[in-house]
Amino acid sequence: ARCQCKLDPRERKNCGFPGISPLECRKAGCCFNTSVPGVPWCFAPKAKKVEKVCPNDPHARINCGFPGITAKQCERKGCCFRAHPADVPWCFYHRVVEE
């Protein structure tokens, strides 16, 4: 993503070789920017920020528990717990989303 390439030039970590083209650099999953001399032009992007969220759509839930599981048991497993609506898992896995 474009925002992952917005780093302070002093933080750039080389991701290519001398003379690498912009296309070769991007194909390698790296950022390319020639605007600052004396720092790598092909450089590693910032790591993606991810967050665990409990899905809002009850039908998107993936079961993480068993019938009759308590909220405490579910949370000990590291899962989400919502005791509603009926006929969907109440203990279910998080979704990982990029920020």
Confirm whether pTM is higher than 0.75: no
Confidence label for 3 from pLDDT (cuts 50, 70 and 90): confident
Nearest Cα neighbor of 16 from 34, 35, 1 is 34
pLDDT recorded at residue 99: 63
Taking only the tens place, the pLDDT of each residue in 71-94 is 999 999 999 999 999 899 999 999
26-75 pLDDT, tens digit each: 999 999 999 999 999 999 998 887 888 999 999 999 999 999 999 999 99
> 78: how many CB neighbours lie within 10 A of its CB?
10
Torsion, CA 54, CA 65, CA 85, CA 50, rounded to 10: 10
Distance CA 65, CA 50 (A): 24
